[in-house]
């Protein structure tokens, strides 16, 4: 499996809208096993996106999906910056298939 | 929902064993919606644990479960330290119920 943990910082006051766009854009992505959008409890502009994919190629391919491309275009003006980004190899756990 | 993103650093050469203990200890925790154990792709001793709970109280209660207590006792000697820790409010996404 292939995983990503990433922090996004929304432009002030736009975190909720950015989260909505991310959730809509990620609703149907082949090979995606988990994609959770979460507010940071301490930073009122920050979101965390934690992702688990069956393999890295599925993540790469998702970036070409029309729904994802539309989300990127819609969300880009609402992103002030990116924070931490970690690539992982998920081993398993609750909420994953199998 | 209540979320946690945390980094653990295993004592040298013990990451795999620590991951196994975490996965076993977390297999049956009421209110746990997602619990993923992942290797950091760049740091050969580091693990990431990303968690989603129905509410904060469920996470707190899990720490008293016999299986979790046993895992803490077994895993503690294999933990060299803790890295980043972020509390989140998950909004939704793929892999979560509902």
Q: What is the pLDDT of residue B67?
A: 96
Around Cβ B84, how many Cβ atoms within 10 Å?
12
* pLDDT digits 0-9 by tens, A78-89: 999 999 999 999
What mean pLDDT do residues B9-32 have? 97
ipTM of the complex: 0.95
The size of the A-B interface in CB pairs under 8 A is 123
Q: Cβ–Cβ of A26/B89 closer than 8 Å? A: no
Contact residues of A toward B, CB < 8 A:
1, 3, 5, 19, 23, 26-27, 29, 32-42, 48, 50, 52, 84, 86-96
Rounded distance, CA A98 to CA B61, Å? 26
Our CA-based measurement puts residue A34 at a distance from the nearest CA of chain B, in whole angstroms, of 5
Rounded distance, CA B49 to CA B65, Å? 18
Rounded distance, CA B63 to CA B82, Å? 17
In three-state secondary structure terms, B85 is strand
Q: How far is residue B28 from each of residues A25, A62, B32, B65, measured CA to CA in Å?
A: 31, 32, 8, 9
Tell me which residue of A3, A75, A6 sits closest to A32, measured CA to CA. A3
* pLDDT digits 0-9 by tens, B43-98: 999 999 999 999 999 999 999 999 999 999 999 999 999 999 999 999 999 999 86
Find all residues with CB under 8 Å of A28, minimum gap 6, and list them.
A67
**Which residues of chain A are within 8 Å of residue B5 when distances are taken between CB atoms?**
5, 48, 50
Rounded distance, CA B23 to CA A64, Å? 34
Domains and CATH numbers, chain B: 2-88 (3.30.70.100)
CA-based nearest residue in chain B for residue A87: B41
Which of B26, B34, B91 shows the shortest C-beta gap to A23?
A: B91
Q: What is the pLDDT of residue A34?
A: 97
Rounded distance, CA A93 to CA B68, Å? 14
Task: Count how many Cα atoms sit within 13 Å of the Cα of residue B62 in the half-sphere of its side chain.
Answer: 23
CA angle A70, A97, B88 (to 5 degrees): 60
């Amino acid at each position: 499996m292939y995983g990503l943990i990433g922090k996004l910082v929304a432009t002030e006051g736009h975190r909720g809208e950015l989260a909505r766009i991310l959730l809509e854009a990620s609703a149907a992505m082949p090979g995606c096993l988990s994609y959770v959008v979460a507010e940071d409890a301490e930073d009122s502009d920050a979101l965390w996106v934690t992702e688990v994919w069956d393999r890295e190629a599925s993540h790469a391919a998702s970036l070409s999906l029309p729904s994802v491309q539309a989300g990127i275009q819609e969300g880009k003006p609402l992103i002030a910056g990116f924070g931490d980004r970690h690539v992982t190899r998920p081993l398993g756990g609750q909420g994953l298939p199998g």
